[in-house]
Amino acid sequence: MEGEQESDLIPPDKYKDLTDFYEDVETVGEIEFSYNGKYYTLCYVENGLSIAEYYKPETEQIFESPEDLAEKFVVDGRRFKDFVTEVEVLFH
């Protein structure tokens, strides 16, 4: 971006731990993040917590709660709870 220096750009947020993620989900209810080169959107829907890759509705998974998502949502063989501190939070 013309005229901007790298120090002017806002870095993405990171979660300190799983509790930080739980609090964000409960407070905000909608989160967008990237992990391992893929972008995801997470939000509450009528029957639970929905997560899917951007523009890929066929990847949607529904979980009962943030805790359920942390245990059962898997990317590249890793559970969300094991990489939560590595995601880059883009919107919340």
Cα 68 to Cα 88: distance, rounded to the nearest angstrom: 21
Q: What is the pLDDT along the chain (92 residues), one digit of tens a residue?
A: 455 444 456 567 999 999 999 999 999 999 999 999 999 999 999 999 999 999 999 999 999 999 999 999 999 999 999 999 999 999 98
Is position 15 within any domain?
no
- Contacting residues for 5 by C-beta, under 8 A, at least 6 apart: none
Is position 21 within any domain?
no
Residue 42 structural domain: 30-91
Is position 24 within any domain?
no
pTM: 0.84
Total domains in the fold of the chain: 1
- Contacting residues for 18 by C-beta, under 8 A, at least 6 apart: 70, 81, 84
